[in-house]
């Protein structure tokens, strides 16, 4: 995965964030809670590489197919991934560029040099 340079929010976006409803904040918190599980986060990062079937994800991440299916159901319910049926399999990928950008921005955040002064 190549990390592109993150961009900060535009001033208008800051206003939108300040006006989120209580329900929107609750949904946002639940979204981050879902991403807080290491297995789900690995699945998300894997799905950023392109559409993949459950078996491929399970094999490459050394997880059981049933666990991957369970996590994908939760991630799909939160609109973080989308699935496309092709014959008897469903191929999953990150839902949209917003989701990818959040993951990329956080990856940048954890790998940047820390100045703890």
Per-residue pLDDT reduced to its tens digit, 83-112: 999 999 999 999 999 999 999 999 999 998
Alpha carbon 38 to chain centroid, angstroms: 11
Integer angstrom CA distances of residue 83 from 43, 45, 92, 94:
13, 15, 4, 9
User: How high is the pLDDT of residue 6?
Assistant: 47
CA angle at residue 108 from 41 to 53, to 5 degrees?
Answer: 30
Q: How confident is the model at residue 15 (pLDDT cuts 50, 70, 90)?
A: low
Q: Where would I find the H helices in the chain?
A: 11-18, 22-35, 38-47, 54-61, 65-77, 97-111
Tokens 């079937």, residue located:
53
């Amino acid at each position: 995965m190549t990390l592109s340079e993150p961009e900060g929010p535009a001033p208008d976006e800051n206003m939108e964030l300040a006006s989120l409803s209580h329900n929107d904040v609750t949904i946002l918190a639940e979204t981050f809670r879902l991403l807080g599980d290491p297995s789900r986060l690995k699945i998300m990062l894997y799905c950023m590489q392109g559409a993949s079937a459950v078996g491929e994800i399970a094999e490459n991440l050394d997880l059981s197919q049933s666990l991957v299916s369970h996590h994908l159901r939760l991630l799909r319910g939160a609109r973080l991934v989308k699935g496309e049926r092709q014959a008897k399999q469903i191929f999953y990928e990150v839902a949209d560029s917003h989701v990818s950008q959040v993951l990329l921005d956080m990856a940048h955040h954890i790998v940047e040099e820390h100045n703890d002064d």
